[in-house]
Amino acid sequence: MMRTRPLKVALLGCGVVGSEVARIMTTHADDLAQRIGAPVELAGVAVRRPAKVREGIDPALVTTDATALVKRGDIDVVVEVIGGIEPARSLITTAFEHGASVVSANKALLAQDGAALHAAAGEHGRDLYYEAAVAGAIPLIRPLRESLAGDKVNRVLGIVNGTTNFILDKMDTTGAGYQEALDEATALGYAEADPTADVEGFDAAAKAAILAGIAFHTRVRLDDVHREGMTEVTAADFRSAKEMGCTIKLLAICERAADGASVTARVHPAMIPLSHPLASVRGAYNAVFVESEAAGRLMFYGPGAGGSPTASAVLGDLVAVCRNKLNGTTGPGESAYAALPVSPMGDVVTRYHISLDVADKPGVLAQVATVFAEHGVSIDTVRQSGRNVSSGGEAAIEQGGGGRREGGEASLVVVTHRALDAALTGTVEALRKLDTVRGVASIMRVEGE
């Protein structure tokens, strides 16, 4: 039976995502009503610039007073798509206090204050849904929170930032350097004027925190996520990767330790074999691998950003929350009962690809190998290519090594077996101190094997 009294929705933010949410709510109104069991009505839209013309939105609904809107008392669901920490956090909390459930796309806020927001929702018997906060349109939160609730997730490995994937894909396919690829991403609208959040990995780290928390039933905050950006990835790194049969991706990796007693979450660029499905994720697409005990390996793929895809995820949550409301129930809240410790990056077990410029003379290889052995890191492969130093080369060496040296120089590429990240870091530090190591050209983890 269709209820005739509509459920009222307040929209906070009417930018790229919010305007799409409003548009779909209008154009699909009849279908949404059938799916929910009651009509949904846009009851107010909070914006910063009220004078801006917003096609399809009744100007009478537009307000700059978001607080008054969420305090109205007749609002059933608040959709928060303004992003950032404040005023979003206060508005969401106020919405719960005044009887509304919340659908949010706010990854930064969820990664920082998810526990407190869940607690506030629980205290007031309301829903907090946020499918759109991670990987845009790709269903990921609901599969982890509901479909896999009976399984044990051991690993989540994914590309969760489209901007950086676009840049890295460009570098891979065209041989471009980082800046050139970033410039193209900016010109095409993939990268923002200030790309820091994307290229330094903050965006992906927030998503990793959210995914790890849900996957491992453990609170994982943004500060728990080890983060390295991708601004230092070079065209030379891509050439090295190709020689290994790999490409380079900015990965978010959330893992349960082998003994199951702790978890880790990290974001950094890594080499990944071309045979791995994530290697073929092109352009601005996202993809996430979930490995669980019973289900095995699952891959989720699709558009991870953009107004319409993100609005799709918001609308899915809106339907779910409205259904819950009509049924007098709420969906799953926070599940953090496992409360596993989040280990530091040094405890991660991974492989390294290290390119060194070394003096090409007897004993150097043995010296380098000894450093690896002393740190308990087992070498998988070593590849050396020698080159005689011309006068120009010597000048370069003098600048880098602080003194004129005799003889040739060689490029040494070492790929390790799996080892503790702390041991690998220690190895690299010790290598840098060797007189015969004239430079560490690149260090990259190798994942997905």
Catalytic residues: 207
Q: Which is nearer to ligand HSE, 161 or 218 (CB)?
A: 161
Q: Considering the complex, what minimum distance in angstroms separates the CB of residue 376 from ligand HSE?
A: 37
Query: Judged by CB under 6 A, does residue 203 bind ligand HSE?
Result: yes
Query: Judged by CB under 6 A, does residue 162 bind ligand HSE?
Result: yes
Q: Per CB under 6 A, which region of 88-96, 155-163, 236-244, 328-336 contacts ligand HSE?
A: 155-163
Q: Which is nearer to ligand HSE, 163 or 264 (CB)?
A: 163
Q: What is the dihedral of CA 289, 240, 164, 276, to 10 degrees?
A: -20
C-alpha–C-alpha distance, residues 324 and 318, integer Å: 10
Query: Judged by CB under 6 A, does residue 304 bind ligand HSE?
Result: yes
Number of residues binding to ligand HSE, judged by CB under 6 A: 7
| H-assigned helices in 103-201 | 107-123, 141-142, 162-174, 178-187, 196-199
Q: Which is nearer to ligand HSE, 141 or 415 (CB)?
A: 141
Q: Considering the complex, what minimum distance in angstroms separates the CB of residue 253 from ligand HSE?
A: 17
| H-assigned helices in 327-386 | 364-374
252 contacts 208 by C-beta, under 8 angstroms: yes
Q: Which is nearer to ligand HSE, 131 or 409 (CB)?
A: 131
Q: Considering the complex, what minimum distance in angstroms separates the CB of residue 203 from ligand HSE?
A: 5
Q: Per CB under 6 A, which region of 92-100, 111-119, 161-169, 387-395 contacts ligand HSE?
A: 161-169
Q: Per CB under 6 A, which region of 143-151, 160-168, 238-246, 264-272 contacts ligand HSE?
A: 160-168
Q: Which is nearer to ligand HSE, 36 or 250 (CB)?
A: 250
Query: Judged by CB under 6 A, does residue 158 bind ligand HSE?
Result: no
C-alpha–C-alpha distance, residues 224 and 345, integer Å: 9
The encoded tokens of residue 62 equal: 């537009």
How many CB atoms are closer than 10 A to CB 114? Answer: 25
181 contacts 212 by C-beta, under 8 angstroms: no
Tabulate helix, strand, coil % of the chain (nearest 5): 40, 25, 35
Q: What is the dihedral of CA 105, 107, 112, 117, to 10 degrees?
A: 20
435 contacts 423 by C-beta, under 8 angstroms: no
Query: Out of 19, 104, 154, 163, which residue is the one contacting ligand HSE (CB under 6 A)?
Result: 163
Contacts to ligand HSE from residues 280-299, by CB under 6 A: none
Residues that bind ligand HSE (CB under 6 A): 161-163, 198, 203, 304-305
